[in-house]
Structure 1
Amino acid sequence: MTRRHRRRAAPLGVLLAGLVAGSLLCATSVAHAHAEPGSPESDKQAARSRTSSAKLQADGSLSDVAGLSEKDVWAVGQQDVWDFWQNQGVITHWNGTAWTEVDVRNDTTGAGHLRSVAAAGKNDVWAVGDGHDGLPYVARGNRDGFDRLTMPQLRAGDWLGAVAATSGRVVLVGSRDGRTFAAAAGGPSWTTWDTVQGPVGALYGVALAGKSEGWAVGDSGSRPLIMRLTSSGWKLSHVPVVKGGFLRDVYVQSRKRALAVGGVYQRSGKIMPLVLTWDGESWTREKLPIRQAELYGVTGDGDGAFWVSGFDPQRPGTAFLLTYTGSKWKVVYGDSVPDRTVRLQAVTRVGETTMAVGHTLDASDRYRDVIETFGSPAK
């Protein structure tokens, strides 16, 4: 999932930079994923890729995706991305056959950009982003519809970048008054929220390993920032010093294994990919097979394999993933899309399928949502 620091760009600026959400061509096609030359790919990872779309309205883009199974996947984003005041937040669901938009009930103001989605169960799905009333947007629901939650703990100016949910526990992260911000609640009423402000910076990704165990990632404006959730609350975690570094998403496999992804801004304006891994004691920086790339989202299979979605500026029209299957990082590409830039903003792993969502941007600055499926297509 993509998270950009508000100090560098306001939400509209994020759109103008083309880093808000993602999508490939609306027309469905079948291609073959292939490894970076010189990096042999396993048979499992070299499975075909499939390009499709949730068929959002004009200038539609998907920001995040969460899957419970190959026939139960959720994605969020927005339509009319160029109109900051009239853009429309989108919640859409995949049932194994088709994508269907799901409405938010009893909400007259409407959502703007929805950045993050989390699914604790088939009847417990959360989405967060911006509201057109100037307040952060938090919605909870299922296939029958969503309801916007009224949260007096949130105020105008608060910014929400991500949500994580498990059975009986939900955590929202972002920023407030230039400092990291988190809000957490437990069921069944979801009316009592505990909020906390941390160090200077913002949080863009969060993941839970249990009700009181998890990680949130972001940056301070000049270097990566990681917060750890324990039974005693949030604590700042020590990370390698990476000047110009930032983190946009995190995946937790267990208490002794987690992965955070982002990048490093270079003086040239280019971005170097950044991956940090947690081994139960410390965070360390991974050596990667690619020197330039923008990394947005990360997922795993719970058994040591990871998938990272993003954008390769050397091959802008090609769907791009980084994969790790337990011993080595590899680059995997889908087929190229002529005259378009492809950004995969988020990724989820369901069964034997890796599903990434994002957008394409053409020469006329038109967005189209895109879904790239690597592995066995959901049926």
Structure 2
Amino acid sequence: MTRRTKRRALAVCAGVALCTGPIVPGMSAAHAHADPTRPPAIAEAWQQSSSVGLQGDGSLSDVTGLSASNIWAVGQQDIWDVWENRGAISHWDGRSWTQIGIRNDDTGAGHLRSIAAASATDLWAVGTAHDSLPYVAHGDGSAFDRVGVDQLRAGDWLGGVAAVPGKVVAVGSRDRAPLVVTRTGAAWQVEPVRVTEGTLYGVSVSAKGDTGWAVGDSEGEPLVVRLSEGSWKRVSLPEIPGGYLRDVHLDGAKRALAIGGVYHGSRKVSPLLLSWNGKRWSRVRVPDGEASLYGVTGDGKGRFWVSGFDPQRPGEPYLLRYDGKHTKIIRGEAARGGESSTMRLQAVTYVPGTSTVWAVGHVVDAEDKYTDVVERFGPKGTRSTSS
């Protein structure tokens, strides 16, 4: 077997792990966004493509933006090596990206899947460790430390995290059933979720941490659980056989958007959007196509942006905007290599006060080499010049 053949064989497994989470029956996190002082223009045009510069084959899984000079992204490097792949944390200071290390950890992080910020000095990342345990790391704005969580055990899987002052919520799976782990103050606990089978991939909570949503799939159907009055409970959804959800963004008591897809067999997937209006979840009509949706963000004004991948135009950045009534596809310049390259934007964040959204993910070229990417989108007529 040649090196290229080996990489192609691994690509199937790596692609599933990077884009859909664990292979079990059945990105992202809420960020502490401050509202801008005036309503911003709508981010609806591609601005720029760049990279954080991960070593080896690298991919970014999640991103959170606190300001134009304070953006964090997580992912992994050397993804082909099961035992030596390394979790990556990168910080944008307004000029350049810097790799941030994790202290007090002899084993090292593997794939870091999600990051959330309660404040500029209170950040949380989750993923997989090399010691078979879920990985939880806490950052103070300058460095990260691995955090031991006694309530977690080998075999547990974490896919998403949300953080607000005084509270952290991480979601995933345990023994093929949904898992919710919370930290209130300094105490961690596993929250009961009355769903016997399934996985949670994304979570979003209110600024006070008293309400929230977590999404995933269960027995071939989309799964949504709600935090209300101190407990997590499954809520009713439209019947969608083959459906799944990968991320959710809470934009207010009467606004939330959950995103995912619907399997149709023969590896065909259609995009799925579910909108919350304060009383019920309803399905949103989306443009025809087979786009895969991975991450969602919002600006607090009822506008949402969804990142993903369009197999009909695989080398181009793909973003979907939803304003509560209509959807619109936003595309960017194709990656180097054109149609022979594949770009997946796995997460997206709205950056307060800038009228822009940043999306992160990876490009796979004709030789199956992964390169991390950062794509920026903003109002029409503007173009970023920073690198």
CA deviation after TM superposition for structure 1 residue 44, in Å: 4.3
Q: Deviations over 1:247-306 (max 9, x none)?
A: 000000111110000000012321000000000100000001232110000001000111
Query: How many residue pairs were aligned?
Result: 346
Residue of structure 2 equivalent to 1:15: 14
Residue of structure 2 equivalent to 1:346: 347
| In structure 1, C-alpha distance between the alignment counterparts of 2:15 and 2:360, rounded to whole Å | 19
Aligned AA (2:374): I
| In structure 2, C-alpha distance between the alignment counterparts of 1:51 and 1:360, rounded to whole Å | 11
Residue of structure 2 equivalent to 1:196: 192
| In structure 2, C-alpha distance between the alignment counterparts of 1:191 and 1:378, rounded to whole Å | 45
Mapped contact 2:43–2:356 kept (Cα < 8 A): no
Mapped contact 2:134–2:157 kept (Cα < 8 A): yes
Aligned AA (2:211): E
In structure 2, runs of 5+ residues without a counterpart are 1-9, 21-40
1:221-370 paired onto structure 2 within 5 Å: 221-337=219-335, 338=338, 339-350=340-351, 351-370=354-373
Residue of structure 2 equivalent to 1:105: 103
Cα 1:67–1:163, aligned 2, differ >3 Å: closer, same or farther?
Answer: same
Q: Deviations over 1:223-265 (max 9, x none)?
A: 1000000123000011111000000000001111100000000
The worse-fitting range, judged by mean Cα deviation, of 345-354 and 321-330 is 321-330
Residue of structure 1 equivalent to 2:203: 206
Paired residue secondary structure (1:15): helix
1:115-264 paired onto structure 2 within 5 Å: 115-187=113-185, 190-199=186-195, 200-209=197-206, 210-264=208-262
Cα 1:17–1:135, aligned 2, differ >3 Å: closer, same or farther?
Answer: closer
| In structure 2, C-alpha distance between the alignment counterparts of 1:353 and 1:193, rounded to whole Å | 36
Cα 1:116–1:14, aligned 2, differ >3 Å: closer, same or farther?
Answer: farther
Paired residue secondary structure (1:134): coil
| In structure 1, C-alpha distance between the alignment counterparts of 2:65 and 2:110, rounded to whole Å | 23
| In structure 2, C-alpha distance between the alignment counterparts of 1:171 and 1:111, rounded to whole Å | 19
Mapped contact 1:104–1:145 kept (Cα < 8 A): yes
| In structure 2, C-alpha distance between the alignment counterparts of 1:368 and 1:50, rounded to whole Å | 16
Mapped contact 1:185–1:194 kept (Cα < 8 A): no
| RMSD value, Cα | 1.8
TM-score between the two structures when normalised by the length of structure 2: 0.86
CA deviation after TM superposition for structure 1 residue 14, in Å: 4.4
| In structure 2, C-alpha distance between the alignment counterparts of 1:101 and 1:87, rounded to whole Å | 15
Aligned AA (2:363): T
Paired residue secondary structure (1:204): strand
TM-score between the two structures when normalised by the length of structure 1: 0.88
Instruction: Give the % identical residues.
Output: 52
CA deviation after TM superposition for structure 1 residue 142, in Å: 2.6
Cα 1:46–1:115, aligned 2, differ >3 Å: closer, same or farther?
Answer: closer
| In structure 2, C-alpha distance between the alignment counterparts of 1:105 and 1:275, rounded to whole Å | 39
| In structure 1, C-alpha distance between the alignment counterparts of 2:144 and 2:257, rounded to whole Å | 31
CA deviation after TM superposition for structure 1 residue 197, in Å: 4.2
| In structure 2, C-alpha distance between the alignment counterparts of 1:168 and 1:378, rounded to whole Å | 38
Mapped contact 1:129–1:137 kept (Cα < 8 A): yes
| In structure 1, C-alpha distance between the alignment counterparts of 2:179 and 2:167, rounded to whole Å | 17
Cα 1:217–1:271, aligned 2, differ >3 Å: closer, same or farther?
Answer: same
CA deviation after TM superposition for structure 1 residue 16, in Å: 4.2
Q: Deviations over 1:315-372 (max 9, x none)?
A: 0010000012344101010011222100000000113111000000012111000000
Residue of structure 2 equivalent to 1:373: 376
1:25-44 paired onto structure 2 within 5 Å: 44=42
50, 59, 62: which one pairs with 1:61? 59
| In structure 1, C-alpha distance between the alignment counterparts of 2:91 and 2:75, rounded to whole Å | 12
Mapped contact 1:59–1:367 kept (Cα < 8 A): yes
| In structure 1, C-alpha distance between the alignment counterparts of 2:147 and 2:12, rounded to whole Å | 27
In structure 1, runs of 5+ residues without a counterpart are 1-10, 22-42
Mapped contact 1:183–1:196 kept (Cα < 8 A): no
